[in-house]
Structure 1
Amino acid sequence: MSKHAHILHGKGELVAEFNFSVGQLLLRQLTTHDTRIAQIDAHTGKEQTFKYILDTSRKLAIYLQKEGLTVNDGIAICSENNLDFCIPVCATFYLGAIVCPLNPLYSKGELKHALTIIKPKYIFISVIALNNMISIFKELHWFPRVLLLNNYDNIDIPWMSMDKAISNVSDDNIDKFQAVPVDINNHVTAILCSSGTTGLPKGVMWTDKNITTIIRMYINHPFVANAMSLALLPFFHAYSFVLLVIRLIGGNSSVVFSRFEEKLFLQSIEKYKIQYLTVVPPIMVFLAKHPLVDKYDLSSIRKIWCGAAPLSEKIEKAVVKRLNIPEISQGYGLTETTLAVLRFPQDTALKFGSVGMLVPGVSAKVIPLGEYETDETLGPNCEGELCFKGDLIMKGYYNDEKSTRATIDKDGWLHTGDVGYYDEEGYFFIVDRIKELIKYKGYQVPPAELEAILLTYSGIKDAAVIGIPNEEAGELPMAFIVKEENANIREEDIIQYVNERVSNPKRLRGGIKFVDSIPKTPSGKILRRVLRRTLKSKL
């Protein structure tokens, strides 16, 4: 069989290639958006214009330049979503430095690990990350400078605020400021932490080319140019971080949430007549099942994009029916692919359960599980590991050549670690993660399939499935269940319900454990390693 048999290529054209870095593009576009409203704080109603973002970020860039920050220096931003998050992001891009968004809810160990990977010269933090930063700061073996994103009254802190740092930068200088030119194809402009579902996060390197390719895909999309959106997902996550940059460049206004609040989320959709939603599966479960949803007018919603974690077909259909919307578009991508490499093109028929088709400029192949350097490719409807290639693929893991070589092969194919297949029309379907497959007597059991079934059972609010060790079978599928409030459900009934709907190896032989919540990453990926550790400690 030919080496190129069963290799798929994304169809369609992108807008003409930009000869600008991300910083140059941002600077030019923010100027054109001028005094239009860029962001609204969902919790306070405070508004911020594109001109404010432009002027403040230029001042910060000038300040950092005077303080000696140069091309390829790192700037970390450790904060929840707020109106000022984008200011150091823009300034970093202008200067050709490297922006590194971090989760403010990291534990001390996780925060220290992430900072040690990237060793930023400056760290911008919000008050949420303050205590952790103070406790680990003396353990950092270099000497980063810390700035607070906001002014905080009545807090005794050792660092000054961003506002104070830029207060002496003259307004006269900002109009002359220009973005630093860089090698667009090779310059690392951002390092984002991988989700860490199977271990400590790694630093994923994005180039200017990675981000400008995404912008070329979405810049003319209706949700960028013509509508207000909700900035609900955390900006430190790849999905939301790219959307933040797209919105700033495209001139899209957004309502910014620092945390998810059920009523405020629904009120904001109603108040601002939100047409396009970008969400993760836990929010889809909320929209499908929560009684509050029926109390608000959500008729403005025209389309929902869902990504970052698997979405069950049952939940997808439930939301379509409940909200009476024409389509929900799933997508698929990793931090390592910048954004989605699979999505539903506009005016394409929706296929329930599918994560879409290849985006333009990206190639894909499916290879046999357990192979790496192989020329064998699988045809339609054959499950295997998904591999991708193209301008969206990361440059590699920062200072980690070993992990890079284990993920991107010599021919440039990114091995995702995800099990999936495509059908005769080129629609892709995700089955599970290779490392998360449960092995029962040699059979591969996908946890996501069992979770999707569990979520259809009346009275179950959330569910997660792991394999528990068993001497005879290898592993037994076991479920963690979160009950809906006042639900009266029994373990034996749930097990019977699932077992009637699956083949013999997939039965819930490990039993069920009722819990208050399922540990997840901010994007909605289930942290199975945390569940395994919890179970092991109780045993």
Structure 2
Amino acid sequence: MPHRSPFPDVEIPDLPYHEHVLADAVDRGDALALVDGREPGGTRVTYAQLDAAVRRLAAGLAEAGLAKGDVLALFSPNTVAFPVVLYAASMCGAVVTTVNSLYTVDEIATQLRDCGARFLVTVSPFLDRAVPAARAAGVAEVIVCDEAEGHRSVPELMASTAPEPRVSIDPATDVAVLPYSSGTTGRAKGVMLTHRNIVANMVQTQSAVRLDPGAAVVAVLPFFHIYGLATLLNIPLHVGGTVVVLPRFDLERFLALIQEHRATRVSVAPPIVLALAKHPAVDRYDLSSVRIVLSSAAPLDPALASAAAGRVGCRVIQGYGMTELSPCSHVVPDGEENPPAGTVGKLVANTECRVVDPATGEDTEDVGELWIRGPQVMKGYLGRPAETGATVDRDGWLRTGDLGRVDGDGHFFVVDRLKELIKYRGYQVPPAELEAVLLAHPGIADAAVIGVPNGAGDEVPKAFVVRGEDAGALDADAVIAFVAGRVAPHKKVRAVEFLDAIPKSAAGKILRRELRARERRAAAG
């Protein structure tokens, strides 16, 4: 029997995404919306300025040819320009695909080709990757947020005197954002999130957690990741918060900004919780304003959460979601002071969850796969109807690939996962992608990749490799270097073991469970 959210259903505004986020921006006037947090005295943007910038850039993009249904790729670290581009493109009726700022040329080009991007917006330090990737994918134009010779810039487009675009958008069916996710298995796929998906999840999440108007959040999680986009951009700007932007994680600067802006809620991934628990720099800053640290994007060890909570003097809680859920389905409510250790919380409003025995397909009171249904469930995977059908059934239930349980009070716990995806520092690392890279090596006959614990509450990719006839003196260091030169840093293989054969089923599927069992036996001595 499905479990339902303990919160009353909320009404979902029938609005385009950008209109919902910026609904009260003009009325907030000189209230501070964005701060460049890289150094003291960084650029500050008021709500009135943000609203005006979005409208002017939308006019410039429309004049440049961006039309409803076009895809604009946004390849950028966190900057104050990021939301301006994001919402301006949405105002044009375009789809924004966010690109991981660590991606290599080949990885960028693959995503651009897959989604058919027409424009690529980036920053000048990224042009060495953006330009060749755009050329390889047939992208019409590369635009920079700052300045670079030979490229139009965001400020130039904002100088347009063209009228604002007036585009008819159907929130229920029109796609707003196209992040890429590997889902439960396989390579990265474009996750089609409609305007309604995103707006729905904003109001659903706000049924359980509240950010006060004027409160500051320090945006250290990347905006290209759905977790950062939702919790550190969309919701704070909708409620009238101040988003203090950091382009990359620097612990000292992060702590200084929390102290300076008196942040009350901190959204992070487990590696930052580890730093809060153990790094000596924490003691040098006043973090007394922090009431809640929310960790998501990967499982958080309860002992680590307790250690961080004791050191900072606040609650450290978890949430649960995935890109395909826009992203949130579970969170510990603000008013719950003593949730059980390890829980990812309760279902947000308008959400149902089944706990399904993978062997029988029947609901179970024990551990089973979590299936989610609600208005935040994605429209589907771009151009992949088979994968969409394998993930979302005809009744709208999304199979998460995660194994969990629920207690009598409606607290959910994620205990394991069916899916093969590796989570490293909150980033998704699809084994199939690394296996494809490994098999491109002339000295490798076969390969498989799994995630193995690294002792810090995280996983690292480990490759099992079968040497080919031409392997020569191929060793672990050579394998690691080969992969490192072809993938983003978070996808690097960090351990290698050579085997005579990769365990596979009769159908040829890699039996990763056998490799994981092998690792457990080795760890046990």
TM-score range normalised by the length of the shorter chain: 0.7 to 0.9
* AA aligned opposite 2:298: A
* AA aligned opposite 2:33: A
* AA aligned opposite 2:265: Y
**Equivalent position of 1:215 in the other structure:** 202
1:24 and 1:179 in contact (8 A); partners too = no
**Equivalent position of 2:106 in the other structure:** 109
Is it true that 1:389 corresponds to 2:382 in the alignment?
no
Q: What 5-or-longer segments of structure 1 have no aligned partner?
A: 439-446, 456-461, 472-514
Q: Say which of 2, 14, 21 aligns to 1:19.
A: 14
CA offset digits 1:259-281 (Å, max 9, x no partner): 11111111111111111101110
Is it true that 1:145 corresponds to 2:108 in the alignment?
no
Q: Say which of 266, 283, 288 aligns to 2:272.
A: 283
Residues 352 and 31 from structure 1, CA distance in 2 versus in 1: closer, same or farther, beyond 3 angstroms? same
- CA apart distance, 1:68: 3.1
1:60 and 1:88 in contact (8 A); partners too = yes
CA offset digits 1:39-94 (Å, max 9, x no partner): 11111322111222211211111122223322211111100001111111111221
- SS of structure 2 residue aligned to 1:99: strand
- SS of structure 2 residue aligned to 1:292: helix
Q: Say which of 143, 148, 166 aligns to 2:158.
A: 166
**Equivalent position of 1:246 in the other structure:** 235
Aligned length: 451
Query: Matches of 1:467 and 1:367 in 2, distance apart?
Result: 30
**Equivalent position of 1:501 in the other structure:** none
Is it true that 1:340 corresponds to 2:324 in the alignment?
no
Residues 370 and 134 from structure 1, CA distance in 2 versus in 1: closer, same or farther, beyond 3 angstroms? farther
Alignment of 1:14-413 (within 5 A): 14-44=9-39, 45-140=42-137, 142-152=138-148, 157-169=149-161, 173=163, 177=164, 180-194=167-181, 199-218=186-205, 221-243=209-231, 244-325=233-314, 327-348=315-336, 349-370=338-359, 374=361, 376-379=362-365, 382-413=366-397
- CA apart distance, 1:531: 4.0
Q: CA RMSD in A?
A: 3.1
Residues 31 and 466 from structure 1, CA distance in 2 versus in 1: closer, same or farther, beyond 3 angstroms? closer
1:275 and 1:302 in contact (8 A); partners too = yes
* AA aligned opposite 1:84: A
**Equivalent position of 2:419 in the other structure:** 435
1:14 and 1:216 in contact (8 A); partners too = no
Identity rate, percent: 30
1:23 and 1:90 in contact (8 A); partners too = yes
Query: Matches of 1:106 and 1:345 in 2, distance apart?
Result: 35
2:462 and 2:494 in contact (8 A); partners too = no
Query: Matches of 1:296 and 1:266 in 2, distance apart?
Result: 6
**Equivalent position of 1:530 in the other structure:** 493
2:266 and 2:293 in contact (8 A); partners too = yes
1:23 and 1:179 in contact (8 A); partners too = no
Query: Matches of 2:183 and 2:356 in 1, distance apart?
Result: 24
1:105 and 1:129 in contact (8 A); partners too = no
Query: Matches of 1:315 and 1:466 in 2, distance apart?
Result: 22
- SS of structure 2 residue aligned to 1:277: strand
Query: Matches of 1:370 and 1:224 in 2, distance apart?
Result: 45
Query: Matches of 1:47 and 1:255 in 2, distance apart?
Result: 9
Query: Matches of 2:332 and 2:75 in 1, distance apart?
Result: 33
Q: Which runs of 4+ in 1 moved over 6 A?
A: 465-471
Query: Matches of 1:403 and 1:277 in 2, distance apart?
Result: 35
The alignment's TM-score, normalised by the length of structure 1, stands at 0.77
- SS of structure 2 residue aligned to 1:366: strand
Q: What 5-or-longer segments of structure 2 have no aligned partner?
A: 423-449, 467-479, 502-525
1:233 and 1:240 in contact (8 A); partners too = yes
Query: Matches of 1:161 and 1:67 in 2, distance apart?
Result: 12
- CA apart distance, 1:330: 0.6
Query: Matches of 2:4 and 2:29 in 1, distance apart?
Result: 39
- CA apart distance, 1:197: 8.8
Q: Which moved more, 1:425-434 or 1:197-206?
A: 197-206
